[in-house]
Amino acid sequence: MIVAGIGVYALVFNGVTLLMADMPLSNMPIALTPVHIVFGLIFLIGFYIMLFGIYRKIPWLYVKLMNISQPLSKSIVSFKTK
């Protein structure tokens, strides 16, 4: 399944690339701005907090993340994690 998924992704990517070949500015790189760097750092900090389980060592953060991850009480989903 993984190989098939990668193959389909490659076909779609190459198809879109061929369709966009004649478009102006389609091959121009985008400049790296401070906004990109800030969002990248936020992502990396969040990734490492999850990877190393730091969120479990900070009780208020763990509770906040658990509450955010629960479905709304008005939704169809009635199962909540324990």
Q: What local confidence, expressed as pLDDT, does residue 45 receive?
A: 92
80 falls within a domain: no
Domain count, the chain: 1
The token pair that represents 41 in the structure block: 């750092």
- Quote the pTM value: 0.46
Q: What local confidence, expressed as pLDDT, does residue 78 receive?
A: 59
81 falls within a domain: no
82 falls within a domain: no
75 falls within a domain: no
Q: What local confidence, expressed as pLDDT, does residue 30 receive?
A: 84
| Enclosing domain of residue 15 | 2-69
DSSP single-letter state for residue 31: P
User: How far does CA 50 lie from the centroid of its chain?
Assistant: 13
Nearest-5° Cα angle at 1, 11 to 16? 15
30 falls within a domain: yes
